[in-house]
């Protein structure tokens, strides 16, 4: 039987070894497995993905803000001088 059918038989849950196919999720398996049953359900994966995307978006916004504030400001225009 395929891994996909095995997952389906377990009502849509992935084991730690199956999650190795998804490096970000595998690295945070224990965090994603919120009920501690040794599997991540579809709902747990969705919650983890939403949390991951929100954190990624926060980091991107912070990096963009830092890059914007670190950009050198344009020098003020030179005063006009008249002879």
- Decide if pLDDT at 6 tops 70: no
pLDDT digit string (tens) for 36-51?
999 999 999 999 999 9
Whole-angstrom CA distances from 72 to 13, 50, 63, 65 are 51, 35, 16, 13
Q: Which two tokens stand for residue 25?
A: 């999720």
Of residues 6 and 78, more confidence is placed in 78
Cβ-Cβ contacts under 8 Å for 10 (sequence gap 6 or more) = 39
Amino acid 24: pLDDT: 87
Q: How far apart are the first and last CA of the chain?
A: 91
pLDDT digit string (tens) for 51-69?
999 999 999 999 999 988 8
pLDDT band at 12 (very low <50, low <70, confident <90, very high): confident
């Amino acid at each position: 039987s395929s891994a996909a059918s095995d997952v389906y038989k377990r009502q849509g849950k992935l084991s730690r070894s199956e999650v190795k196919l998804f490096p970000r999720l595998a690295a945070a398996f224990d965090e994603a497995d919120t009920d501690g049953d040794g599997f991540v359900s579809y709902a747990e994966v969705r919650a983890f993905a939403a949390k991951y995307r929100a954190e990624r978006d926060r980091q991107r916004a912070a990096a963009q803000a830092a890059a914007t504030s670190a950009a050198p400001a344009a020098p003020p225009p030179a005063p006009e001088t008249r002879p």
